[in-house]
């Protein structure tokens, strides 16, 4: 039997090791490496090279300067190209802050010069309200509403937040005296296109409202209770007519903003807006697209990076009923899974998760509790609502308890 020398065995092991570590299939390059560097140095060089690959730094998400100032970072394709300014208002409780964040960020993407003013209907500012895309967060109790505790005590969270809309708009007009254009958006809306057509319409009209539907498809009798117009989007220019409308609307919502068999909160009163005021009914299919009008909206393609509906740009989608009726209606109206609507829904859900949905959704409403932290029973709110005059001696009903009613 032929016995290899010790030197040859060692050389063979080195060659096999080099092939495994460097991926060299031919022995020619291995022999060159062997001649060029000693064995120990060659092994150390390979280790250092592999270690450097593992420690290669990943590029930072934000440049250092932007990270310090916390300025919004906008996609290059969406950098603003104009000079429009406006105030965008929204009202929310702490449990819906994740929706407000998505809405505010989408505003900054398409209208970066707009300022976003958030009314938080809570007793105190929640830590989750600290967000760089919010230009101002104001508590509802600081809007200047007369006898605010008495107004808020009779409402639940949905009624209490919707009742604040006219008061927030009045506050914004006082605070931002140099601004001319004001837009209200619900928190469950997302912007997908700049507001060119909106600004054009506001050159002609001081009040814009949008109907739930534009034609006779669907069950239109549903809106005999919900109202003809949707209060999720309202646009204004500063004018005496706007001030008159907001004062009238606020007066109605102070006492009558209930979800019951008679009222549909704030929307019921909008039916009178085109009658009492010069409110223009805006029939653009790309503003306030939602579950209640999908059957009449042909959402088919993307052009120049933007979504189109009925051959007009989709500007604002209203994600009301996202995890319930909306998902069901989308499947009925757009049966083909290739329709871009499914991508739109998935992307929005991902944004909500990114903005802390799991942290915010279970936050209890602070106005559901007395100042002593005792939970306010529904029977207590009902008694106060049915006969508020009986409790006029209470300057602040939140300072009482259930036993008082």
Closest Cα to residue 329, out of 299, 292, 280? 292
Residue 322 reports pLDDT greater than 50:
yes
Q: Confidence band (pLDDT; 50, 70, 90) for 145? A: very high
- What's the pLDDT at 280? 96
| CATH code for position 108 | 3.90.550.10
165 and 259 share a domain?
Answer: yes
Between residues 6 and 327, the one the model is more confident about? 327
DSSP 8-class letter at 122: S
- pLDDT recorded at residue 294: 87
Please say whether the dihedral angle defined by the alpha carbons of residues 216, 222, 225 and 230, taken in this order, is positive or negative. Answer: negative
pLDDT interval class at 235 (50, 70, 90): very high
Q: Residue 387 sits in which domain range?
A: 369-404
Q: Is residue 337 part of a domain?
A: no
Q: How far apart are CA 285 and CA 282, in angstroms?
A: 9
- Of 16 and 292, the one with more pLDDT: 292
Q: Which of 288, 320, 355 is the last residue of a domain?
A: 288
The 10s digit of each residue's pLDDT in 153-189 is 999 999 999 999 999 999 999 999 999 999 999 999 9
Mean pLDDT of 132-139: 96
pLDDT at 44 over 80: no
Asked if 143 and 273 sit in the same domain, the reply is yes
Q: Give 73's pLDDT tier (boundaries 50, 70, 90).
A: very low
Q: What is the pLDDT of residues 75-85, one digit of tens each?
A: 333 333 345 79
Task: Work out the angle between the directed axes of helices 240-255 and 165-175 (0-180°, nearest 10).
Answer: 140
Higher pLDDT, 326 or 59: 326
Tell whether 342 is covered by a domain. no
Q: Are residues 254 and 373 in the same domain?
A: no
Task: Give the DSSP letter string of 363-388.
Answer: PPPGGGB-TTSPBPPHHHHHHHHH-G
The pair of structure tokens assigned to 382 is: 């009902």
Q: Is residue 400 part of a domain?
A: yes
Residue 355 has pLDDT above 70, yes or no: yes
Residue 364 lies in a domain: no
Going by C-alpha positions, the residue among 346, 298, 306, 351 that lies closest to residue 326 is 346
The predicted structure's pLDDT at residue 62: 29
Give pLDDT, residue 337: 82
> How many C-beta atoms lie closer than 10 Å to residue 30's C-beta?
19
Question: What are the Cα distances from residue 110, in Å, to 79, 98, 209, 296, 345?
Answer: 8, 19, 21, 26, 19
Q: Which two tokens stand for residue 279?
A: 């409110």
- Same structural domain, 281 and 377: no
Is 247 a member of any domain? yes
| Domain finish residue from 271, 288, 305 | 288
**54 belongs to a structural domain:** no
If pLDDT is split at 50, 70 and 90, which confidence band does 42 have? very low
The pLDDT value given to residue 299: 83
In a shared domain, residues 111 and 236: yes
Q: What is the predicted pLDDT for the residue at 315?
A: 95
Assign residue 265 a region (left: φ > 0; alpha: ψ between -120 and 50; beta: otherwise). left
Report H helices in 70-176: 97-110, 148-153, 157-162, 165-175
- Whether 132 is in a domain gets the answer yes
Taking the C-alpha atoms of residue 121 and residue 156, their distance in angstroms, rounded to an integer, is 11
Q: Please give the share of the chain, as a percent, with pLDDT higher than 90.
A: 55
Q: Is 343 among the domain residues?
A: no
Helix (H), strand (E), coil (C) string for 306-361: EEEECCEECCEEECCCHHHHHHHHHHHHCCCCCCHHHHHHHHHHHHHHHCCHHHHC
Average pLDDT of every residue of the chain: 82
Q: Examine the domain organization and report whether 266 and 394 are in the same domain.
A: no
pLDDT at 153: 94
Report the number of distinct structural domains present in the chain: 2
Whole-number pLDDT of residue 227: 85
Whether the per-residue pLDDT at 93 is higher than 70: the answer is yes
Q: How confident is the model at residue 333 (pLDDT cuts 50, 70, 90)?
A: confident
Which of 246, 273, 288 terminates a domain? The answer is 288
Per-residue exposure over 287-297, b if at least 16 CB sit within 10 Å of its own CB, e if not:
bbbbbbbbebb
More confident of the two residues 303 and 96 = 96
Note whether 308 and 302 are within 8 A (CB). yes
CA 284, CA 267: separation in Å to the nearest integer? 19
Higher pLDDT, 266 or 167: 167
Strand partners, 182: 87, 236
């Amino acid at each position: 039997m032929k016995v290899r020398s010790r030197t040859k065995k060692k050389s063979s092991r080195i060659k096999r090791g080099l092939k495994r570590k460097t991926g060299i299939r031919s022995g020619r390059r291995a022999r060159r490496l062997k001649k060029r560097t000693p064995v120990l140095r060659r092994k150390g060089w390979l280790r250092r090279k592999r270690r450097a690959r593992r420690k290669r730094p990943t590029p930072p998400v934000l440049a250092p300067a932007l990270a310090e100032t916390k300025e919004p970072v906008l996609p290059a394709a969406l950098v603003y190209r104009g000079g429009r300014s406006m105030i965008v208002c929204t009202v929310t409780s702490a449990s819906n802050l994740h929706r407000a964040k998505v809405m505010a960020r989408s505003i900054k993407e398409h209208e970066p010069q707009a300022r976003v003013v958030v009314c938080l209907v809570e007793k105190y500012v929640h830590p989750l309200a600290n967000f760089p895309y919010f230009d101002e967060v104001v508590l509802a109790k600081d809007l200047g509403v007369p006898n605010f505790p008495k107004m808020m005590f009779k409402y639940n969270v949905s009624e209490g937040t919707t009742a604040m809309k006219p008061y927030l708009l009045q506050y914004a007009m006082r605070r931002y005296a140099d601004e001319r254009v004001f837009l209200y958006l619900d928190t469950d809306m997302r912007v997908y296109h700049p507001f060119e057509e909106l600004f054009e319409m506001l050159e002609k009209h001081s009040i814009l409202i949008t109907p739930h539907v534009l034609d006779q498809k669907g069950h239109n009798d549903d809106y005999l209770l919900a109202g003809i117009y949707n209060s999720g989007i309202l646009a204004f220019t500063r004018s005496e007519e706007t001030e008159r409308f907001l004062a009238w609307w606020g007066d109605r919502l102070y006492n009558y903003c209930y979800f019951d068999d008679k009222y549909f909160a704030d929307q019921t009163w909008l039916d009178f807006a085109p009658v009492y005021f010069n409110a223009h009914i805006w029939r653009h299919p790309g503003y306030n697209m939602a579950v209640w009008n999908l059957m009449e909206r042909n959402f088919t393609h993307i052009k120049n990076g933007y979504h189109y509906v009925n051959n007009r740009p989709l500007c604002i989608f209203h994600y009301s009923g996202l995890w319930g009726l909306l998902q069901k209606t989308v499947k009925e109206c757009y049966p083909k899974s290739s329709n871009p609507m499914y991508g739109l829904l998935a992307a929005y859900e991902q944004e909500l998760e990114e903005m802390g949905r799991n942290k915010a959704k279970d936050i209890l409403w602070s106005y559901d509790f007395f100042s002593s932290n005792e939970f306010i029973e529904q029977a207590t709110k009902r008694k106060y609502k049915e006969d508020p005059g009986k409790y006029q001696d209470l300057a602040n009903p939140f300072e009482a308890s259930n036993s008082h009613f």
